[in-house]
Chain A
Amino acid sequence: MSKQSILNSIRQHKPDFGNKPQTTEPVRRPQCPAYDSPVAAFVDNVIAAGGEVIRCPHGEAAATLKAKFPEALNMTYPAVSGRFSPSTALEALNGVECVAFAGRFGVAENGAVWLEDSDLPHRILPFITQRLALMLDDSQIVPTMHEAYDRISLGATGYGVFISGPSKTADIEQSLVYGAHGAVSLTVILSEEKK
């Protein structure tokens, strides 16, 4: 294979951008102005991305989900998530109408919610479902993607994804259409902090 010849060619052609040494220092962060209310910004950005936000009192996320989507598969219940595994046939998943997960945290600046392997009994579930619901505590909103990556350890998981809004495309004359391939709608159920 060409690994050595490629690496040799890179060494032979090293660019000089004023000699940038490889550093293990954490990336320098531009000063980000603080949000007055990260939660309000998060809500605005989920809506701007085409999603819907339902606020609920602490401890009532599951009940709120059930009222909104009676058919939802709530993956925070082991009895529900236990019915699915990586070997579940795709045909059985393709008809799923609504799936709900507990999001790890949300990002104020763009309305994205983080999910990773241990939240997902089958990795395709958040995409193959017609409707996706993500439950989140409003104490779990970080301001920007910098803080988001502080909360994650990519080395400790197999797969992870930020989801902001429902699947969308504008490939036909720049007309925005929801539900290109993934979920047609996204609902974030945002619980108020425990008082």
Chain B
Amino acid sequence: MDAHAKNARRFLKDEARADWHDETLWIVRKKRDNAAAAVEEWEALREEASHIKEEALANLDTLLEQFEKEAVKNGAKVLWAADAEEFNHHILGIIRHHKAVNVVKSKSMLTEECGMNDFLLKEGIEVVDTDLGERIIQFRHEAPSHIVLPAIHLKKEEIGETFHEKLGTDKGASDPVYLTHAARLHLRQKFLAADIAMTGVNFAVAETGSVVVCTNEGNADMGVQAAKVQIHCMGIEKIVPRQADLGVFTRLLARNATGQPVTTYTSHYMKPKTGGTMYVVIVDNGRSRHLGQPKYAGSLKCIRCGGCMNTCPVFRRSGGHSYGYVIPGPIGSILAPERSKTGCPDLPFASSLCGSCSNVCPVKIDIHGQLYCWRQDLTRQGKTALTKRLAMKVTGKILASAALYDFAGAAGRWAVGHLPKSLLYMPLNVWGKGRELPVPPKESFKQWYLKNRKNTAM
């Protein structure tokens, strides 16, 4: 029930690492601010991006059909998957059909969501993740802790240790240039031997049947252009109606993600290479149902920039793994209650509701508003922790009655002044963990007011 709080506590035990994580993501946030401020029309761009996504979601059925028609005209094969299981079987089917042995994959949160790597491993197929951060965590059998910076939870010494073990780099070596070069040589061999290359999809253009993939490393193209068979995996919400819409989204995505004006490579795939085969797999996996939730459908506008994670005071100080859902951070906390198997009812509470996530969101998702709504809905459904529900009930009663409120205030002031620390900071006082209670005032504001200002005209 309070998995996030427990995981966060574990994360915070290593104080130096937690501080580094916090400060590093804050630097990324500041880079984003500079990039956004350099574009005078930034707010108008966000407004337009939100508008395009809403238009796309409101017409998703016709746009998906149009996309399929155009993609097929281009020579691509389009497959549809209702859920993770069907998706995984489609991929397995393609691998078997082409008698493929070596499969490489650039970043795709969708394949993480569907548990594809583990599924294929059970079928004897090892997919090689080619994004450097993803390869690092794949070596370590970990999940990504951030959707744009998957290995942000690791220190270079740990990566050096992993590479020493897996790639034979020098023991104790931790220089990022040296380690990156070792990974380049290792993964280049994987690219050259690849039978199939998979990618995620940033945008799918209905008008032209194109899929667009953005990377800095060039791993999507190294794979796709080396392998005979290319597979692009997309959730149904990746659709944009027109080619011209890409002008809006490519201006926003990288600036909001890392502060770059654009990613190094923005690749547009339409037709398979000569002698090759191109697949696009369109996946629902709970998205169409999510679309029908008036309060929460807006979260499907997300373009996965990770901006809300970098700015979130809770994410920065608890780490992506503490969330326990494939997409961590503020956006993950509004997706998980609808889409995860367990519902993750504690995640909407893993927020200070400061609203910074909504302020940076490039497609203007009301993230903190949805977090607030989820708290109420999950509590009404009885899915939140019993202690939280009881505490809220008691608080509600007290705040509804002037007499009870006066009494509780007086009791509180007395208690903080008189009770021993061991009792004040007992385990039930969750608030007191890591916090000092304030020195109690002698009287309440009401008492002070009656004494000093009662007869003063306002």
Q: Which A residues touch B63, using CB under 8 A?
A: 22
* Closest chain A residue to B63, Cβ basis: A22
Contact flag A31-B61 (CB < 8 Å), given A124-B226, A149-B244: no
Interface string of A2-23 (1 = CB under 8 A from B): 1101110111111111111111
Return chain B residues, CB-CB under 8 Å to A169.
132-133, 180, 216-217
B167 nearest CB across to chain A (Å): 13
**A13, A20, A180: which contacts B289 (Cβ < 8 A)?**
A13
- Name which residue of chain A comes closest to B285, CB basis: A6
Inter-chain contact A171/B131, CB cutoff 8 Å: yes
Report the Cα distance A154→B159, complex, angstroms. 40
Is A104 on the interface with B (CB-CB < 8 A)? no
For the complex, give the distance between the alpha carbons of A13 and B58 in Å. 10
Nearest chain B CB to A129's CB is how many angstroms away? Answer: 11
Interface residue? B248 (CB, 8 A) = yes
Binding site for B on A (CB under 8 A): 1-3, 5-7, 9-24, 26-33, 45, 48-49, 85-87, 90-91, 94, 107, 109-112, 117, 122-124, 126-128, 144-146, 148-150, 152, 154-155, 157-175, 177, 179-183
Please state if B218 and A158 are interface contacts (CB–CB under 8 Å).
no
- Judged by DSSP, the binding face of B is helix
Q: How far is the CA of A9 from the CA of B83 in the complex (A)?
A: 13
Q: Say yes or no: A10 contacts B60, CB within 8 Å.
A: yes
Is B353 an interface residue, CB under 8 A from the partner?
no
Give A171 to B187 CA distance when docked, in angstroms. 15
- Asked whether, in the complex, the Cβ of A171 is within 8 Å of the Cβ of B221, the reply is no
A11 and B208: CB pair below 8 A? Answer: no
Name the residue among A14, A23, A171 with the largest chain B CB count within 10 angstroms: A171
- 5 extra interface residue pairs, beta carbon distance < 8 Å, beyond A87-B275, A126-B221, A160-B268: A6-B80, A11-B61, A12-B288, A33-B40, A127-B221
User: Which residue of B41, B159, B266, B292 contacts A162 across the interface (Cβ within 8 Å)?
Assistant: B266
Q: Mark B251-290, 1 if CB is under 8 A from A, else 0.
A: 1000000101111111111111111000000101000111
* Interface 9-mer from B49-57, B94-102, B433-441: B49-57
- Known contacts A15-B57, A162-B266: does B222 contact A172 (CB below 8 Å)? no
Report 18 cross-chain contacts, Cβ distance below 8 Å, ordered by A residue: A2-B80, A2-B81, A17-B54, A22-B55, A26-B244, A30-B48, A31-B44, A109-B251, A126-B221, A146-B244, A154-B210, A155-B207, A155-B208, A159-B271, A169-B132, A172-B176, A181-B217, A182-B221
